[in-house]
Structure formats: C-alpha cells, structure tokens
Amino acid sequence: MSAHPAPATPQSLIRPEVLALSAYHVADASGMVKLDAMENPYPLPEGLAAELGALLGAAPINRYPAADAQALKDAIRRALDVPAGCDILLGNGSDEIIQLLAMAVARPGAVLASIDPTFVMFRMIATFTGMRYASCPLRADFSLDLDAVLRMLEAERPALVFLPTPNNPTGNPFARADIERIAAATPGLLVVDEAYYAFGDSSFLDLPARLPNVLVMRTFSKLGMAGLRLGFLVGAPAWLAELDKLRLPYNVNVLTQVAATRLLDSYDALAAQAATLRADRSKLADALRAIPGTEVFPSDANFLLFRIPRAAALFDGLAARGVLVKNVSRAHPLLADCLRVTVGTPAENVRFVAALREAVADLG
Ligand SMILES: *Cc1c(COP(=O)(O)O)cnc(C)c1O
C-alpha cells in the first residue's frame, strides 16, 4: 500500500508572505459616529433616492452587466475632464485597479514603489502579487523629499510607482512640477492616485495625454459612493488595452453601473456636498487647533491629520464616547501621536470635538 502524503494545511500550502499578512482591518463602527474611513456623511440628494429606487428596480439583474460599461464611461466623461485621446478603465473600487496594475507588471523581482507613510494597499498588493515593495520617506512635515525620491527610483528601478495626491493619511497635495520630475525619472509607470481630487484645487487628469508613462486613478468612494465600489483609471489606450485583458469580466456590477451613471449626471449635487465638506474642514481644523497641544496638518482631502499628546489613549477615549476615528500613531514613526479624522456633518464634527475635549480632560 502506497503511503499517502499528508494532506495540505494552510500553513504548508499558502505562500509564507501571505501567511505573514494581517487582513485589512475594518473597525466595528456599529452605533458610533463614524469618522474613520473618509466616507461622505451625506445621504443622496433630495429626490434622487426615489429615482434610483425605480432605476435599480428595473435593472436587469438576471443578466450579466454590460461588459464595457459604455454608458457609465460616457457619464464619467460628461462629468469630468477626461482628455479626448485617453481611455477609461473601470474597477471594483480603485483597489481593484491597483491590483490589475500590479498583476500586469509583476515579473520575478519587479518592484512596486511609493512614498511613506501612504495608503497601505500599495504595500499589501505588492505582497499579494509577489512584487517587492520599496518606499521613500516623506519629510517630517509630510512634504515630498524630491531628491530622495529620485535616488530611490534610481536605486530600485520600479516597474510601478504610486503617488497619491493629496496623500492619505497625511492630507497634503504634491506639486505638479515634482510629479512631472518623478514621471520623467520613473523607468516604469507612474500612477497618480487622485482619490481625494474632489476636496482640493489640483487635477492631474491632463497628464496621461502629455506624459507617456503616466496614468491617473480616481475613485468615487470619497464622493458619496463608497458602497457602490467604483474606481477608474485614465490613460493612453495602448496601456489600458493591455490592463483590460487582466480585468475579470463584469467586474462592475449592474446595480453599480445603473446607480453611478445616474448619480454622475447629477454631479453638481455631489460636488456641492464636497464643497460643504471643504468649508467644514477648515472649521473643524480651527476647533482642533483650539485644543492646547494639538497640531493640525494642512489638508486638501476630506479628512484631517492631527498630532496630540497621548493619541492612542485619546483614540480609546473617543471610542468610549461613541466616536470612531483612525489611530495612525503606530503606522509609521513620522505619524507618532497622530490621529486621522474624516470630516463629517457639522453635528458629527461638534460631537467629535466635544468628545475629544472630554477625553483630554479625563487623562488629566
Ligand atoms: C480610499 C483610497 C483608495 C481606494 O478607494 P476605493 O474605495 O477602493 O476606490 C485609493 N487610494 C487612496 C489614496 C485612498 O485613500
């Protein structure tokens, strides 16, 4: 009788770098003021919810979605200044687009690079796809150290560079001249991640039409559609045609296509909510600055990063008072004693500041 090999276990079969990962952490927010995930706090504009209800009710969910999602791409072009010569690739959130890009270039030894601190999915997806991750630290004020970035590009020769502007979790945007220098020095693709474009003054959507190795990625998650999961990539047709081969068919579902197409035709209403959040961001920054010992960093996004003594204990104090923010104080040495708060409704912002003041007083 031949001996059967021992059956595989997760520990024996799964790649060691996957075993070493911790899953992307999503905090339980039930019953809390949720200011941890950069969601738009406002419900759908008046009348639109009912209209969407009817549209979604009539959507043919028994059929596969339109594979090219042309109506939705047309709506994106009507709402935003996508350069005429560029194509659009849609993702199930921009997270999926990061993964598509990495899968496309992940030869053995290939490097995915970014800045540090930044959005954690860049590093995670490098691991998922077997790429090596390299990053260049920001300066202590979170500005870009351009010379250091250029040295990193020279040393690592990355196939793929992600540059979020404004950056998450720091909130600051980067200068166009710096982005263009990085594009010129990048031996591979530079992906400018404009997840927070709606809350600042810059747009880099024009770059892919001018610079041959630049793509721009955006998401509607921060603009009020986080639940729909829709991100997109803008770039030269030659790049996007290759990436499209790796996109799973029907990655954007029928309900998302119908809802987002309709919502984008009311883009002004969404932009108005973003404008309200921008105005409330500066009020929230003022209220935070009034708390002694607090440093608030400039933000072009729908969140604020602030430093406050004993941040981790204050995070717990806020949670105990029903307010959930993001504790990034242990995510990177530059973020020591930093918390990140999403701009909420005026009432939520007031509740957050009151809870923070109480938590500070509690610590004595
Ligand atoms: C939120 C975020 C994304 C991902 O958004 P999706 O919800 O997956 O579209 C991408 N990049 C940055 C910098 C983000 O903060």
Q: Strands across the sheet with 132-137, in order?
A: 87-91, 231-235, 214-219, 189-193, 160-164, 111-116, 132-137
Q: Candidates 1.10.606.20, 3.90.1150.10, 3.40.190.170, 3.30.1490.100; correct CATH number of 12-41+268-363?
A: 3.90.1150.10
Distances (CA, A) of 353 to 163, 170, 251, 289, 320: 31, 20, 40, 11, 14
The amino acid at 108: P
Q: Which fold has domain 63-265?
A: Aspartate Aminotransferase; domain 2 (3.40.640)
How far away, in angstroms, is 358 Cα from ligand 1 center?
Answer: 32
Q: pLDDT digit of tens for each residue in the chain (364 aa)?
A: 567 888 999 999 999 999 998 877 788 889 999 999 999 999 998 899 999 999 999 999 999 998 899 999 999 999 999 999 999 999 999 999 999 999 999 999 999 999 999 999 999 999 999 999 999 999 999 999 999 999 999 999 999 999 999 999 999 999 999 999 999 999 999 999 999 999 999 999 999 999 999 999 999 999 999 999 999 999 999 999 999 999 999 999 999 999 999 999 999 999 999 999 999 999 999 999 999 999 999 999 999 999 999 999 999 999 999 999 999 999 999 999 999 999 999 999 999 999 999 999 999 8
* Ligand 1 pocket member 199 (CB < 6 A): no
* Ligand 1 pocket member 233 (CB < 6 A): no
Q: Are 39 and 342 in contact (CB under 8 A)?
A: yes
- Specify the residue with its C-alpha closest to ligand 1, atom 12: 195
pTM, two decimals, is: 0.96
The residues spanned by each domain of the chain are 12-41+268-363, 63-265
* Ligand 1 pocket member 95 (CB < 6 A): yes
If one residue of 26, 121, 303, 305 were mutated to test the ligand 1 pocket, choosing by the most ligand atoms within 8 A of its CB, it would be: 121
How far away, in angstroms, is 293 Cα from ligand 1 center?
Answer: 31
